């Protein structure tokens, strides 16, 4: 695996969704190299990406020129959870670790909501979109935990609640 991919996976190892710009900033890789490495990781199934781009609208005051508005589309990337691998191999130990990952995602979700309430007093389309994306990621983690419970039941016959 290339050095760029290793740096990107390390940057995403906290399971927090990040944009391309945030990954470039965290890794120090050039923009096009980071984009190519992200695309390769996404195609191999190592990271997940938002299906549709999220649009960020920014209005900038340019002095005498007045206000200018820019629109920037971007995707969010997040490291893939271990649930799929444990399902393929019926690995109960890996399925049990999903509970810890789900708790981390839940805490990140609530931290994000707290930060959003503090920073963004007004709601706009970008704020609503980002809240929905984070909420959907939190639900994905919940469903991965349900999958882990099913894997344990299939492999051992034991009913376990990981939540």
Average pLDDT over residues 39-46: 80
Q: Residue 104, Cβ neighbours under 10 Å: how many?
A: 14
Q: What is the pLDDT of residue 84?
A: 55
**Domains of the chain (ranges plus CATH)?**
81-163 (1.20.58.220)
For 124-150, b/e burial (b = at least 16 CB within 10 A) is eeeeebbbebbeebbebbeebbebbbe
pLDDT digits (tens, 9 = 90+) for 52-99: 877 777 777 777 777 777 777 777 777 776 555 555 666 777 777 777
**pLDDT at residue 120, rounded to an integer:** 64
At 122 the pLDDT is 65
Q: Nearest to residue 82, comparing CAs of 64, 69, 71, 96?
A: 96
Task: Give the pTM.
Answer: 0.48
């Amino acid at each position: 695996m290339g050095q760029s991919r290793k740096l990107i996976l390390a940057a995403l190892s906290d399971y927090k969704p990040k944009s391309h710009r945030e990954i470039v900033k965290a890794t120090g890789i050039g923009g096009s190299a980071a984009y190519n490495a992200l695309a390769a990781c996404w195609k191999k199934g190592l990271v997940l990406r938002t299906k549709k781009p999220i649009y960020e609208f920014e209005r900038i005051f340019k002095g005498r020129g007045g206000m200018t508005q820019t629109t920037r589309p971007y995707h969010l990337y997040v490291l893939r959870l271990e649930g799929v691998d444990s399902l393929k191999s019926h690995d109960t130990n890996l399925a049990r670790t999903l509970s810890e990952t789900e708790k981390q995602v839940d805490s990140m979700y609530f931290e994000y909501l707290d930060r959003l309430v503090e920073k963004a007093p007004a709601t706009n389309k970008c704020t609503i979109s980002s809240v929905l994306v984070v909420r959907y990621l939190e639900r994905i983690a919940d469903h991965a935990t349900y999958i882990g419970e099913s894997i344990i039941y299939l492999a051992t016959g034991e009913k376990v609640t990981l939540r």
